[in-house]
């Protein structure tokens, strides 16, 4: 992790009519950092994340993401980030190989780059024998690893992971985190949401959203100290109970 800021957010706000989904959030994320973005259902995480990915326009406030201004260069941001959601990232009716080629094309890689990436990925994920298998017949854990690798295909500066490990078995969940560590060690910034509190501990820093605000932001150790507990789950519970507005 370096001290260089790769995400810089100032008073970012999103209103839907009278409802303030995201309420003046301000924070920085550094290059190579694993940044945990936590909050109860309805706290505003998804809305905030969609803005940072250039998918939703803020009502007010500023953000620089991967060196580009959110209000001016949303399209350039999209070329420099990767995004993986739990619900949708791969085409189930395409083969493993076809998915890689498809996303390579979408991200503007040349045929030669796609070929090199393809060999590298299939080897790294030990999927050489499964290259022509339809994605829908892969076990969930492999799908998740493949969709992470696909989100990283164009070597983005930042990768956004929205609950990447939901429902996967405990060993695969840990293997997935090893991929995250590797990516961060190679200088990719990882911005991740999760409902598993042990995973919050694997982050360099964690922010916790309550009612659209960021009410806590620090290293897991410092947060535990601040809230006088030994476990991140307790930190989360104490903060989430402050929420006054109804979820979603």
Partner 1 sequence: MSSVVVNNIVKTFKAGKETVTALNDVSFEVAQGELFGLIGPDGAGKTTMFRILTTLMVADKGNATVDGFDVVKDFKEIRKRVGYMPGRFSLYQDLTVSENLGFFATLFNTSIEENYDLVKGIYSQIEKFKDRKAGALSGGMKQKLALSCALIHRPSVLFLDEPTTGVDAVSRKEFWELLRDLQKENITIVVSTPYMDEASLCDRVALIQEGKIMKIDSPSGITKQFGKPLWAFKSKEMYSLMKDLEAMPEVFSVYPFGSEHHVVANGSIENIKQKLRHESLSVHQIEPTIEDCFMDLMKSK
Residue 140 CA to residue 137 CA, distance in Å, equals 9
Residue 130 CA to residue 122 CA, distance in Å, equals 8
- Other CB atoms within a 10 A radius of the CB of residue 26 amount to 15
Residue number, 103 or 202, with CB nearest to partner 1: 202
Q: Least separation, in Å, of the C-beta of 30 and partner 1? A: 17
Helix boundaries (H) for 81-192: 96-106, 111-124, 140-151, 170-185
Q: Least separation, in Å, of the C-beta of 247 and partner 1? A: 4
Residue number, 63 or 168, with CB nearest to partner 1: 168
Beta bridge partners of 216: 208
Q: Least separation, in Å, of the C-beta of 178 and partner 1? A: 8
Residue number, 48 or 65, with CB nearest to partner 1: 48
Interacting residues toward partner 1 by CB under 8 A: 39-42, 134, 136-137, 139-141, 163, 166-172, 174, 177, 181, 185, 195-198, 200-202, 220-221, 231-233, 236-237, 240-241, 246-248
Q: Least separation, in Å, of the C-beta of 105 and partner 1? A: 26
Q: Least separation, in Å, of the C-beta of 139 and partner 1? A: 6
Nearest by Cα to 101 from 81, 76, 119, 124: 119
Residue number, 40 or 159, with CB nearest to partner 1: 40
Q: Least separation, in Å, of the C-beta of 51 and partner 1? A: 21
Distances (CA, A) of 111 to 2, 107, 132, 179, 230: 33, 12, 18, 25, 51
Look up residue 56 and give its two tokens.
């939703």
Residue number, 192 or 240, with CB nearest to partner 1: 240
Residue 31 CA to residue 228 CA, distance in Å, equals 30
Backbone angles phi, psi at 217, to 5 degrees: -155, 115
Question: What's the CA dihedral at 157, 163, 166, 170 to 10 degrees?
Answer: 50
Residue number, 72 or 228, with CB nearest to partner 1: 228
């Amino acid at each position: 992790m370096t001290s260089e800021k790769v995400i810089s957010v100032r008073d970012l706000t999103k209103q839907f009519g009278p409802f303030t989904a995201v309420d003046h959030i301000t924070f920085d994320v550094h290059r190579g950092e694993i940044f945990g973005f936590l909050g109860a259902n309805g706290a505003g995480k998804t809305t905030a994340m969609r803005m940072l990915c250039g998918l939703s326009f803020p009502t007010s406030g500023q953000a620089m993401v991967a060196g580009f201004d959110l209000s001016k260069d949303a399209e350039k941001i999209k070329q420099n980030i990767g995004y993986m959601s739990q619900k949708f990232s791969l085409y189930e009716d395409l083969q493993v190989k076809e998915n890689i080629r498809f996303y390579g094309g979408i991200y503007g890689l040349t045929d030669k780059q796609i070929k090199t990436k393809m060999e590298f990925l299939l080897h790294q994920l030990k999927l050489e024998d499964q290259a022509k298998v339809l994605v829908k017949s892969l076990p969930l854990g492999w799908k998740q690893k493949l969709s992470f690798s696909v989100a990283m295909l164009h070597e983005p500066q930042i990768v956004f992971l929205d609950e990447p490990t939901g429902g996967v078995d405990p060993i695969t969940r840990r293997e997935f985190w090893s991929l995250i560590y590797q990516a961060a060690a190679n200088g990719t910034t990882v911005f991740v949401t999760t409902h598993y509190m042990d995973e919050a501990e694997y982050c360099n820093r964690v922010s916790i959203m309550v009612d659209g605000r960021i009410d806590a932001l620090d290293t897991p150790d410092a947060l535990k100290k601040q809230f006088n507990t030994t476990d991140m789950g307790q930190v989360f519970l104490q903060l989430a109970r402050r929420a006054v507005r109804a979820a979603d």
